[in-house]
Amino acid sequence: MGADKIQYIIAMTIYIAAVIAIGFHYAKKASESTDNFLIGGRALGPWVTAMAAEASDMSGWLLMGLPGVAYWSGLGEAIWTAIGLLIGTYLNWLFVAKRLRTYSHLAGDSITIPDFLSNRFKEKRK
């Protein structure tokens, strides 16, 4: 085994140990309540929240949808689609995210969008 492989193994071992240590550190706090687990107890900043939402929103689309668009209609369409996604994401966070965070707290401390809509419009049937 060469020195390069040993360095890779050491680096990966340190990385995995750090990820596991972080997981153990925050697991207790996350298991205290549903709010802590799902939305970080409303203590996360807007950038962390935005990046987490976009990572979960875009992961499937960027891995499967955008390559499919590029294959089906060409690279030019895929580029315009990606530009549209970027603009739409920015406008969403500019106009919707801050208000949704504020009003979700006021509307019965809603955690999810369906909870927010049910509480906002006083729908009891869920």
Q: Tens place of pLDDT for every residue, the chain, 126 residues?
A: 788 899 999 999 999 999 999 888 878 777 777 766 766 767 776 667 666 767 777 777 777 788 888 888 888 888 888 888 888 878 877 887 777 777 777 777 777 778 778 888 878 776
pLDDT of residue 65: 80
Angle at 59 between CA 35 and CA 117, to 5 degrees: 40
pLDDT of residue 46: 67
pTM tops 0.75, yes or no: no
Write out the two tokens for 121.
């419009």
**Longest CA–CA separation in the chain, Å:** 66
Residue among 21, 39, 17 nearest 30 (CA): 39
Nearby residues of 111 by Cβ (< 8 Å), 6 or more positions away:
34, 35, 38, 39, 104
The residue written with tokens 């009003």 in the block is 103
pLDDT of residue 31: 73
